[in-house]
Amino acid sequence: MIVRLTVDIAPSLEEDMIDCLLGFVQLTSFSSYEIRRHGDGEMLSTLEKVTGRALAIRFDLLLDESFVETLLGEIKKSVGIGSPYSVMSLQEHGVL
């Protein structure tokens, strides 16, 4: 089954994350984009506390469910820990 793995990282880790993902042969492509995270659970700098938001880079990956744990282990090892992630089953996936 194909799933969507979403990982949010600090902007300073973007290049490390890209290098890690490009080296994972079971992954053929991924998307990344800038987001703004909000909430009490965020580790915010003083400026971010004033503005109420923290910048992050979100990575969306589609991959076979059987590779998720292996990829998460690689990300922890290569990029670091403390990045929120989620795994979602896809009802459908294809190309138009």
CATH number, domain of 71, equals: 3.30.70.120
In a domain, 33, yes or no: yes
Q: Helix (H, G, I), strand (E, B), or coil: what is residue 65?
A: helix
Per the structure, the complete domain to which residue 68 belongs is given by: 2-89
Paired with 54 in beta bridges are: 37
Whole-prediction pTM: 0.87
Taking a C-beta distance cutoff of 8 angstroms, is the pair 6, 88 a contact?
Answer: yes
Confidence label for 43 from pLDDT (cuts 50, 70 and 90): low
In a domain, 95, yes or no: no
Q: How many domains does the chain have?
A: 1
Q: Helix (H, G, I), strand (E, B), or coil: what is residue 1?
A: coil
User: Stretch 57-84: mean pLDDT, rounded?
Assistant: 94
Handedness of CA 11, 77, 3, 23 (dihedral sign): positive
Confidence label for 70 from pLDDT (cuts 50, 70 and 90): very high
In a domain, 94, yes or no: no
Q: How many CB atoms lie within 10 A of CB 63?
A: 20
> In angstroms, rounded to a whole number, what is the distance separating the alpha carbons of residues 82 and 40?
15
> In angstroms, rounded to a whole number, what is the distance separating the alpha carbons of residues 95 and 93?
7
In a domain, 96, yes or no: no
- The owner of tokens 């973007």 is 14
pLDDT above 60 (res 2): yes
